[in-house]
Structure 1
């Protein structure tokens, strides 16, 4: 399995434009508020600077069509946005290009990518763009007194439906942390049959009240429609609903689950060189900071944080709304890519069997 890269060597500067024959590239991502933030921070500036057209395509999970295209030998995607677990698996299978990371641009103060990217932000087949988190969200006008992750499982104090992502990943971690497992011990526990039983037993306590979601746009809608009292959600989706749609939502940051998104190039991408030039541009210090003006995801470069300013509304300070804000980090869990690469099949089978049971 592909491990996180060891930091080494120096960089070259960003080289633009791409080869003359590459007049367009196709970038596949997750859509929604997140996709819109990429459009504003990355796509539009890049198109204006290079004249290269970016075709933006949305998918619930770009890993699925990427794998299918590579296996069929008919690749139309040039750049895809992946979660780390999918990246590790597809890289290991040879479905992704190994990237020339030493060509990534330096930070403004001359730091190499090895020094500037946060832990978990670089792989040999991918370059990280954002740090996001799965949080618990609720309607602050209807629900009061939510203080800790255990409240999500307390149907007596907080009656009503609960929204959960329909997958073992994130859901099993949430259940164990709510059952008292410390983040530092979580994957040791979840890696055992007893730990899986413990997580499923905790989920059993609310199973009759669960509303399952699969796409990131669903949790804010479930809350807005009053279909759930609380839901897990991606923090950026909830922030967008709060600020842009004036929804009275609140975020419980306690035991948030941190994760990354990373850009990759599929093996056989029709415009590989142009795709790499775009990735270098999109993951420089300024562009990563710019994205935080459009959505509340933290940049993967340390040098970007000092450049994070106001939201696009011109009044909301973004730094306190990022998952990486110091006050939100206590008790947080960083998703273990290696754990899920090793245990996803086994745990998902147990989880799916539990789902199917009465």
Structure 2
């Protein structure tokens, strides 16, 4: 036998004695909005779930582009399994068949969750707000209303607004003196829409439109803006890191984001298991301790971190003056109002 043949036999014997590699864990893709919230979700929810369920969780980020999810539904190939979506997108996506209908028996029922958390195609991931956030070191007196946001004489400087009709038009009407209880009734009329845009006309030259959740805090830190709408959780993180900012909840909108499972998810069993886990009190409490977002498990209502409470939409003092986003209104009117805003921006 040649030396090469001996080496080959020895190599084959060693391969036979070597243990076979373990089968790879099932890989599931969860997509969120990124930023501080997703980092905390990873620590408080994704990683503990992956360890407990034996599922390899792969994270990704998006900016709410439903077009990508529509392509997955149309082609029958879903690159994503669980997606965090805003409430109007969940409603539209569910009606269009972009998401799977949830079996709440598999999820352990909804009795443990706050009102509104249970939807046909979604389970609420968190409660967030879009308050007016101002730089406390750049204004002489704290603003007390959306009228102050529009008052560039009393409060000189740029204003940050999220680039979109939703939130923007409500705040314009509130600034123009419409009562919070009447905002959607007024905005549901042609005259009301005209009134909102007329109010925007008065602020147009002072507006900086943000498209990424990180931008408002960057602008407030640099002085590029003195006030901005912002996601409450982003503001809380910035404040905890030393940025001199504070929120105003009077007339500010709040809503929920939801976990939804894509129509053609190849890992829908694991996706359902994930949502059931995310609804439990333990991971939610850990999440709320790390970032200022409201949670959906009822048992945590009186366990909010006192230091974060000013930034949390579900804090009693904030809920008393904040305004719930009217999901049905934006499902019915969102497309036409977004088109009008885009036309307004172009002129």
TM-score strictly above 0.5: yes
Q: Tell me by how many angstroms 1:41 deviates.
A: 1.4
Q: 1:81 aligns with which of 84, 87, 90?
A: 84
Q: 2:343 aligns with which of 336, 353, 357?
A: 353
Give the Cα–Cα distance (whole angstroms) in 2 for the partners of residues 152 and 296 of structure 1: 23
Stretch of structure 1 that moved more, 79-88 or 95-104: 95-104
Question: Secondary structure of the residue that 2:289 maps to in structure 1?
Answer: coil
Residue number in structure 2 paired with 1:61: 64
Decide whether aligned partners of structure 1 residues 100 and 89 sit closer, same or farther in structure 2, where only a CA change above 3 A counts.
same
TM-superposition CA deviations, 1:146-190 (whole Å, max 9, x none): 222211000100011110011000100111111121222111111
Could you tell me which runs of 5 or more consecutive residues in structure 2 were left unpaired when the two chains were aligned: 1-22
Q: 1:96 aligns with which of 99, 102, 125?
A: 99
Give the Cα–Cα distance (whole angstroms) in 2 for the partners of residues 304 and 68 of structure 1: 38
Q: Tell me by how many angstroms 1:22 deviates.
A: 6.3
CA contact (8 A) 2:31 2:82 kept: yes
Q: 1:198 aligns with which of 195, 199, 207?
A: 195
CA contact (8 A) 1:161 1:211 kept: yes
What pairs up with 1:209-358 in 2 under 5 angstroms? 209-243=206-240, 245-309=241-305, 317-357=307-347
CA contact (8 A) 2:25 2:54 kept: no
Structure with bigger gyration radius = 2
Indicate whether 1:151 and 2:141 are aligned.
no
Q: Tell me by how many angstroms 1:308 deviates.
A: 3.6
Decide whether aligned partners of structure 1 residues 135 and 100 sit closer, same or farther in structure 2, where only a CA change above 3 A counts.
same
Question: Secondary structure of the residue that 1:260 maps to in structure 2?
Answer: strand
Residue number in structure 2 paired with 1:312: none
Question: Secondary structure of the residue that 1:118 maps to in structure 2?
Answer: coil
CA contact (8 A) 1:129 1:262 kept: yes
Residue number in structure 2 paired with 1:136: 132
CA contact (8 A) 1:286 1:307 kept: no
Could you tell me which runs of 5 or more consecutive residues in structure 1 were left unpaired when the two chains were aligned: 1-19, 106-111, 310-315
Q: Tell me by how many angstroms 1:117 deviates.
A: 2.3
Give the Cα–Cα distance (whole angstroms) in 1 for the partners of residues 308 and 153 of structure 2: 35
Question: Secondary structure of the residue that 1:228 maps to in structure 2?
Answer: coil
Q: With the length of structure 2 as denominator, give the TM-score of the two structures.
A: 0.89
Residue number in structure 2 paired with 1:313: none
TM-superposition CA deviations, 1:182-230 (whole Å, max 9, x none): 2221111111110101111111111011100011111111111211111
Q: Tell me by how many angstroms 1:307 deviates.
A: 4.0
Give the Cα–Cα distance (whole angstroms) in 1 for the partners of residues 278 and 118 of structure 2: 14
Q: Tell me by how many angstroms 1:128 deviates.
A: 0.2
Q: 1:38 aligns with which of 23, 38, 41?
A: 41
CA contact (8 A) 1:162 1:209 kept: yes
Q: Tell me by how many angstroms 1:70 deviates.
A: 1.8
**Please, what is the CA RMSD of the aligned residues?**
1.7
CA contact (8 A) 1:176 1:198 kept: yes
Q: With the length of structure 1 as denominator, give the TM-score of the two structures.
A: 0.87
Give the Cα–Cα distance (whole angstroms) in 2 for the partners of residues 91 and 201 of structure 1: 34
